[in-house]
Chain A
Amino acid sequence: MLERLLELIRAGGTQRIGDLAQALDTSPQLVQVMLEDLRRRGYLTAVDPACGRACGGCAFACAKPIPRGQVWALID
């Protein structure tokens, strides 16, 4: 199942967890667990949309953004 998930991801593009779960005939929760596993094994990286201190205190971007849901990127 993990290999099939990796195959689906490698097909490219941006995919939603729900769509991957449907393709694997499993629950989104299990897909999420497998994505974390693939991240720990070094196949994926978690993308962090926060800029932290680096944005020089910009009033528009840095004040505690609301989490928007996790994004993972396939490592080339």
Chain B
Amino acid sequence: MSHCATDTQNTPASLHVKSEFTVALAGQPNVGKSTLFNLITGLNQHVGNWPGKTVERKEGTYSFDGITYRLVDLPGTYSLTANSPEEMIAREFIIREQPAVIVVVVDAAVLERSLYLVAELVALSSRVIVALNMMDVAQQEGYLIEPHVLQAALGVPVVPMTATRNLGVRELLQTIHQVARGEIQSTPHVPEIREDHQSVLEKIRTLIAEWTPAPYPCHWVALKLLEGDQEITRLMQATLPPQQWHALHEILCAHDDALLAVASGRYEWIGRMVRAAVTRPRAGQISLTARLDAWAAHPIWGLGILTGILGIVFWLTFTIGTPLQDWLHDVVVARVAEMASLVLAAAPVWLSSLVVNGMIGGVGSVLTFLPILIIFYTALGILEDMGYMARAAYVMDSLMHLMGLHGKSFLPLFLGFGCNVPAVLGTRVIESPRARLLTILVAPLIPCTARMAVVAFLAPAFFGSAATWVSWGLVLLSLGVLVLVGIVINKTIFRGQRSAFIMEMPLYHLPNWRTIGLLVWGRVVAFFKKAGTVILFISMVIWGLSVLPTGELNTSWLAGLGRWFEPIGSWMGFDWRLTVALLTSFVAKENAIATLGVLFKASETEGLAETLAATIPVSTALAFLVVQILFIPCVATVATIRQETGSWRWTLFSMAMLLGVSLIAGMITFQVSQWVGG
């Protein structure tokens, strides 16, 4: 058994006169390592696999000042822990082959990310050179990096470069030459483990000193043991005599949290390096974000801003969208219905009615929704792309904190506001089965954007110029329900237990119109696809049920079905048509509009909006919108609840509970608005 190998392998390669030196090229993925390798070796390269692995091995040669260098491109790795075959290959090569020089390529624009590998390499060898690549990107992002300061802080040579433009490559080759020949000798400033763990490290080092197999450096092996590196632990278990292994094992078990102490030491070191060498001017976007967030992410002002912004979104949607919707009905849908009536004048009455009342009445009503949809989603897209929506979620969470609610209520809020499906799926992070089940059951109470969009369509139809205020009130009601959900979850499931989330707040920036355009386009295409499939099918079924068997709406099967539910609907002032519209929204929320279009004969003389405004009393309309926003979620969400709970019983319970909540809220709304209206 050999004695502990020299820790940092400081023997200068120049002491042995060589005509060829081995240079290892290390670095994380995507830092420009391959570009640099190709630039240096040109055509003199060979590609194969590392022995016994499927990982690609690239090797090449080049000459500098009469000396031939063998350049080995190591696999891209984030660290030198045995987490992956790539990391194993890289560290085994460095330890066993002992290259004359290790060039570690780092991305100057994300120095914090790149320096972790450097922190590990300088603990393993003193013959390290840092190739500070992508200096152009760092400059474009406004970073001021001082390579000579970084060099002094690291204690190893630092060469600034931009490999894609062949800048700094010659200087790098010169530095490699000098280090290989021993003309530059470095004493790296290596990261230190936290003070309270230093004695443990020393104890391990003493214990293994005589038994560490060459060429593994003793200090490095001790560190890796503390980090819980499985390969090194296995190696030392096989090498140490049983008594020593037992003693070592006891120490390691007593300090199983030491991996954080080792990593902490490296991050402290990275922090010091970056503080010394990098200046990030707090100008432009960053300071603007800080200034805006002082208001937008404030627990009180932020909430006011959020409600104000939502009000503006609805106001814009109605002010621009409603005239366009009327125009679309008058110019497109009504004319298409007229033309269809003329073309089908000689056809059987049922066929003409199916096309005009069923297909055009249903799908046409939904398609007039398009301007509102485009404006609503453009406005939301702008807010998202500018970086505001992350603040909206944060502010809502702050509100819950102010009310004594914490942590876990945030997750369904964050995921559920767009769509209930990810809210249900998101409960997977909750470990307790009981807590998870209860969260799944209440998650659909959070309003999804589909329901909000249906409200955006129906509010101007029912309330005309007061639509902005009504929609705004409904959104506030939704937010109120959200807080209620938080209280229910917190009091019943988590009993005040705190959970933790960390949010990355994107910088505010001007909206990218291409991104927003693509988003709106994607949603419009998906909307058209649905209008042409599910909504068309439902419209035809609704039409069929509304004319069969007598040809009269009031004596149809659908009327019979609707009247069966009428006693419940009547508590909220609904006639059977509104009840049926609500039921069809279970398949997809937009179906409520299509069904109203068919049942209120939207395409004949006037649009659906005008017909609804003339037919439905205000208190009924308000109750309908309240029920709509709190009703059983769409079929996709219900299917996800079934999948995640694995139980039909709980799925049906969830539906029954949501039905009960929405009907009670609708009844209260109807009674109160009737009482207020006299």
A residues whose Cβ falls under 8 Å from a Cβ of B: 1-4, 6, 9-18, 20, 26-27, 29-30, 32-35, 37, 40-41, 44-45, 47-51, 54-76
Contact = CB atoms under 8 A, between A and B. Distances in A.
Nearest to B453: A60
13 contacts: A6-B260, A12-B498, A12-B499, A14-B401, A18-B505, A50-B422, A51-B425, A55-B637, A59-B527, A59-B529, A63-B522, A63-B525, A71-B414
For B83, B418, B504, B589, the residue with the greatest tally of chain A CB atoms inside 10 Å of its CB is B504
Contacts of B498: 11-13
Contacts of B432: 76
B482 to A, nearest CB: 15
A49 B415 contact: yes
Interface string B406-432: 110011001100110110011001111
B119 to A, nearest CB: 12
B421 A61 contact: yes
For B411, B499, B500, B519, the residue with the greatest tally of chain A CB atoms inside 10 Å of its CB is B500
Interface string B373-401: 00000000100110101100110011001
Contacts of B519: 63-66
For A6, A10, A29, A58, the residue with the greatest tally of chain B CB atoms inside 10 Å of its CB is A58
Contacts of A13: 397, 401, 406-407, 498, 500-501
A3 B419 CA distance: 36
A30 B271 CA distance: 7
B421 A35 contact: no
Contact of B500 (A1, A9, A33): A9
Interface stretch (B108-116, B310-318, B546-554): B108-116
B102 to A, nearest CB: 22
A70 B418 contact: no
Contacts of B113: 29, 33
Interface of B is mostly: helix
A70 B247 CA distance: 43
A59 B503 CA distance: 27
Nearest to B413: A14
A27 B501 CA distance: 19
B263 A55 contact: no
Contact of B450 (A6, A50, A61, A74): A61
A47 B414 contact: yes
B415 A66 contact: no
B150 to A, nearest CB: 15
A74 B504 contact: no
Given A29-B112, A41-B259, A73-B411, A9 B502 contact: yes
B515 A66 contact: yes
B389 A54 contact: no
A47 B526 CA distance: 25
Closest 8 CB pairs of A and B: A12-B498, A56-B636, A63-B522, A61-B419, A59-B527, A74-B500, A59-B526, A51-B422
Nearest to A24: B271
B500 A20 contact: no
A62 B194 CA distance: 47
Given A1-B268, A30-B274, A37-B263, A63 B523 contact: yes
B502 A17 contact: yes
A35 B422 contact: no
A66 B407 CA distance: 24
A30 B270 contact: yes
B502 A20 contact: yes
Contact of A30 (B112, B406, B410, B426): B112
B182 interface: no
Nearest to B113: A33
Contacts of B406: 12-13
A30 B530 CA distance: 45
A15 B385 contact: no
B503 A69 contact: yes
Given A32-B504, A73-B501, A51 B421 contact: yes
B448 interface: yes
Given A44-B502, A47-B411, A63-B519, A34 B267 contact: yes
A4 B268 CA distance: 11
B500 A56 contact: no
A20 B284 CA distance: 22
A32 to B, nearest CB: 7
B261 interface: yes
B498 to A, nearest CB: 3
A55 to B, nearest CB: 4
B530 A27 contact: no
A15 B503 contact: yes
Given A60-B589, A61-B448, A65-B418, 17 more contacts: A6-B260, A11-B500, A12-B406, A13-B401, A14-B410, A16-B505, A17-B505, A18-B293, A18-B505, A27-B271, A33-B270, A37-B116, A47-B415, A60-B419, A61-B421, A66-B381, A74-B501
Contact of A57 (B387, B526, B637): B526
Interface string B493-515: 00000111111111000000001
Nearest to B263: A2
B434 interface: no
A55 B419 contact: yes
Contacts of B415: 47, 49
A2 B422 contact: no
B345 interface: no
Contact of B506 (A1, A26, A68): A68
Contacts of A67: 506
B656 interface: no
For B419, B498, B506, the residue with the greatest tally of chain A CB atoms inside 10 Å of its CB is B419
A1 B271 contact: yes
Contact of A45 (B274, B429, B636): B429
Contacts of A40: 83
Nearest to A4: B264
A57 B429 CA distance: 24
B280 interface: yes
A47 B426 contact: yes
Contact of A71 (B384, B448, B504, B515): B504
Contact of B267 (A30, A64, A73): A30
B195 to A, nearest CB: 13
A62 B270 CA distance: 40
B640 interface: yes
A74 B421 contact: no
A73 B501 CA distance: 4
